[in-house]
Amino acid sequence: MILNSRSASLYFQPLPNGKSGLDQHYFLGVDWRSPLGHCLSILIAAVFLVSVPVFIEAPLVRFYPWLSLTLALLLFGVAAYLQRRFNPLQWQQWGDLLHGFAWTWLSGSIYWGWLRWEPLWHLPIEAMGLPFALWGLWQRRGLIGHCFYLGSLFGTVITDLYFYIADLIPAWRALMQVDPKLASLILQGALVQVYTPWGMAWAITLTLVLLAVSLLSLQRQQGHWWGFSGAVASTLLVDGLFWLVATFA
């Protein structure tokens, strides 16, 4: 790629000491060691951890649930290692974030691996880390990870609430029990419920709720709030992708 003078200035911003922005951790006009860069890095990581791994975990728990569960324990171990072994200023935030992600992976492994046939168990299992997260917030420890987990849980609550409001729970149960070859018929039937005035009205309302909560969280210039915001906003991305899958199934 050839950079013109305008785009080059975004990558290499001149600094008072005469060094290029690259030498001072500048990229796209952002100093990634500044408070803003710190918050942005957590936001980007939170979006990634919610939206991308779900497409890895989904087939994994279906065919190898014990392997997925083992990976959750491994994630907890790596998180603890990062939190305690390295310089906190450089690594603790990533250990904290990974700890919060490990809770989402663990609960997802348990539910989707063994209990996915009953939607009523979904939120209780997903909330299994809630007492630990609330305790961490009270102790002011591991804020980034706990806020990420709470943001992910909040998004899950909103998504499940829509399933109940739009009467999609029967489709959920049926989808978990039928042969995969028949899944498209169930998905098309569920979309009929979504496209009703009732379903569309609530889809718009809950989408606005997620957007409002995410944007309000960004007003707090603190990394843990931006991690919370990224997890909440990513719910829209994941739900949107699953909607596309259902549409073209």
Domain ranges, residue 8: 1-33
The separation between CA 208 and the C-alpha centre of its own chain, rounded to angstroms, equals: 18
Q: Tokens 């569309």, residue?
A: 200
pLDDT in tens, 21-57: 444 555 444 555 666 777 888 999 999 999 888 888 8
- Cα–Cα distance, 52 to 39 (Å, whole number): 20
Per-residue pLDDT at 26: 57
Higher pLDDT, 100 or 41: 100
pLDDT in tens, 5-16: 343 333 334 444
Do 27 and 121 fall into the same domain?
no
**Domains in the chain, number:** 2
Q: Would you say 39 and 222 are in contact if contact means Cβ atoms under 8 Å apart? A: yes
Q: Is 236 helix (H, G, I), strand (E, B) or coil?
A: helix
Percent of the chain with pLDDT over 70: 84
Q: Can you give the pTM of this predicted structure?
A: 0.86
Do 9 and 72 fall into the same domain?
no
Q: Tokens 């609550």, residue?
A: 157
Determine the angle formed by the axes of helices 35-51 and 143-165, rounding to 10 degrees.
40
The CA distances from residue 193 to 16, 58, 155, 241, 243, in Å, are 60, 24, 21, 18, 13
- Cα–Cα distance, 147 to 53 (Å, whole number): 18
Per-residue pLDDT at 170: 94
Do 58 and 155 fall into the same domain?
yes
Do 121 and 235 fall into the same domain?
yes
Do 57 and 163 fall into the same domain?
yes
